[in-house]
Structure 1
Amino acid sequence: MSEAVMRRLAKPLLFLAAFIWGTSFFIMKNTLDAVPPFWLLVFRFTTGAVLLGLFCWKKWRTHFTRDYLWRGGLFGVFLFIAYTTQTFGLTGTTPSKNAFLTATYCVLVPFLAWRVFHRRPDRYNLLAAFLCITGVGLVSLSGDLTVTWGDGLSLFSALFYALHIVAVNRLSGGKDIYLLTTVQFASTALLSLAGGLLFQPFPAGIFTQPEVLWPLAYLCVMATTVALLCQNVGQVWSEPSSASVILSLESVFGVLFSVLFYGDPVSPRLLVGFGLIFIAVLCSETKFSFLRKKNSVSV
């Protein structure tokens, strides 16, 4: 596809990734009751590596070079640390605080990108990050706000999600993103396998439980293979700051699905939070240019 087409598709792909992850919150919670975290990551990323590797099998001969290994491997290391610290952090805090603290990567990305790309974030990037994290806080946080070790791990995961976003933007130029993503999946799977073999028993019993296998299949195919590929492709053709704001909608979609399908109450605070996040996305994507045009016409 042409560059112009890819730039038009980038933001919808990022929105799709956030949407899929939002639908997977309750599926992940139920699946973790039967599958230990490391082995869940093994299943997810091994499936992703195999499916995507087969999808782009013709490219291995014509495009693959050794530097795909270290680039995709680095993406995989960042993703592995982010996923594992977020998952284990969830055991020491509430799901809402875990979602909120992880979403703080949308604030970290503009400053990491400034360090890597030497492009100072403009006032709209900073305003969008501030509005977004405030909105996510209103949507996600409730009850006891004391700080626990789980909160610390959740915040630590946000740093590596931010590093992953910046690394993909920095190191994907001129490379086939499908091959890079395949190597990323494979490296994350290998690291997860090491963790599983060292620290957790293999959940052999799940293969006789259809009620576990179907949710696991959704997590492997949609929430891993499709969503992460959409994220990586979308990031290549987007600014890191803009991508991070869109991807942070994952937690918002998660709350929205809880309201629609699980009867969670809709409160004024929830509505204000959604409103702030909408304004943050609008600020990030348009820099309020439509307001400036309207003012210039009226003058």
Structure 2
Amino acid sequence: MSGFFSRYKFAINPQEGVLILITMVWGGTFLAVHHAMTVSGPFWFIGVRFATAAVLLGVISWRVLRGVTWYEIKAGALIGLAIGLGYGLQTYGMQTIASSKSAFITALYVPLVPLLQWIFLGRMPGLMSWIGIVLAFGGLLLLAGPEGGEIAFNAGEIATLLSTLAIAAEIILISASAGKVNVQRVTVIQLAAASIFGFIMMVPNGESVPPYTPYLLYSAVGLGMASALIQVTMNWAQRSVSPTRATVIYAGEPVWAGIVGRIAGERLPGIALLGGALIVLGVLISELKLKRKKKVKSHPSPSAPQ
């Protein structure tokens, strides 16, 4: 056993550690969004949530916003569109399908990220990353507990399936622009773009502004603060964390969502707990690095014939 660990190096850098903490917050927002959908339409809530986040972060970052560049505007707008599509379509789908089925379909973004980064960025994932992704994906399937393992593609399921492409695109776009933009500026822009997208989509979805309730206000402000924290941290951390590793870390979201749900009174079956364990194992294995033994060059002894 000691020989196995001597061949591998387990290391989590500060950026990866922060992403794990952010994923805990991210998973904790699931219950709040679920309850908010009882008093609001999906796209109105998405619009208000990200508008709140954009305003909060904009107030903090107003000095650095003066130096915004066209590249940051374009990058932020594209990422914001992906965020709006991902969150909006997923929320829309949850109106007509069970949360377990939604989680199963959304899990597809896990293998999509390394495939998309290979196609568009030319970055081939390493062996340990692939093993971690397979384990995390399998764990997500068990955690979601799909009914009969089959998906009937109704409108809600198609919307959720499309949201996985948007989520994968968001991670790829953030990594593609990382290091070329100011984190605060691009985050404000992408949050504002996601908000605008949500409000625009109210029209084709036939939504109207819901009646005011204190719970709706608290949910929008609280989740807006969480969104600002999540997005600025993702932009900062993915400057040094690869899309594949970031994706495996993000795969822990349903684990934390399940923990919050349990505290709120929900009880996960044993098969779901096994799935959560596989996700954690996938995160750990993806962080293992194979140590390559350095070849020692043999030098002839002074007495040896030349």
**TM bin (shorter chain):** 0.7 to 0.9
CA contact (8 A) 1:39 1:192 kept: yes
The structure richer in helix per residue is 1
Partner of 1:283: 285
1:211, 1:64 → 2: CA distance? 35
CA contact (8 A) 1:68 1:180 kept: yes
What SS does the corresponding residue of 1:85 show, helix, strand or coil? helix
Tell whether 2:33 aligns with 1:28: yes
Q: Give the TM-score, by structure 1 length.
A: 0.87
CA contact (8 A) 1:76 1:185 kept: yes
Partner of 2:267: 264
Partner of 1:4: none
Partner of 2:60: 55
With 43-52 and 192-201 compared, the bigger mean Cα shift is at 192-201
Structure whose alpha-carbon radius of gyration is higher: 2
2:95, 2:214 → 1: CA distance? 25
2:123, 2:219 → 1: CA distance? 42
Aligned partner (choices 167, 170, 176) of residue 176 of structure 2: 170
Aligned partner (choices 138, 141, 144) of residue 137 of structure 1: 141
2:140, 2:289 → 1: CA distance? 20
Cα drift, residue 119 of structure 1: 2.0
What SS does the corresponding residue of 2:201 show, helix, strand or coil? helix
CA contact (8 A) 2:128 2:288 kept: no
Aligned partner (choices 200, 206, 209) of residue 207 of structure 2: 200
Question: Over the residues paired in the alignment, what is the CA RMSD in angstroms?
Answer: 2.0
Gaps of at least 5 residues in structure 2 are 1-11, 294-306
CA contact (8 A) 1:23 1:253 kept: yes
With 147-156 and 41-50 compared, the bigger mean Cα shift is at 147-156
Aligned partner (choices 95, 100, 104) of residue 99 of structure 2: 95
Distance 1:135 1:48, change over 3 A: same
CA contact (8 A) 1:93 1:151 kept: yes
1:160, 1:201 → 2: CA distance? 25
Partner of 2:302: none
CA contact (8 A) 1:19 1:253 kept: yes
Q: Alpha-carbon deviations, 1:38-59, whole Å to 9, x = none?
A: 1101111111111111111111
1:237, 1:227 → 2: CA distance? 16
Cα drift, residue 197 of structure 1: 4.4
List, as ranges, runs of 4+ consecutive aligned residues in structure 1 with deviation greater than 4 Å.
none
Aligned partner (choices 273, 276, 281) of residue 275 of structure 2: 273
Cα drift, residue 274 of structure 1: 2.1
Aligned partner (choices 27, 42, 56) of residue 37 of structure 1: 42
Aligned length: 279
Identity across matched positions, percent: 27
Distance 1:121 1:26, change over 3 A: same
2:230, 2:77 → 1: CA distance? 19
Partner of 1:10: 15
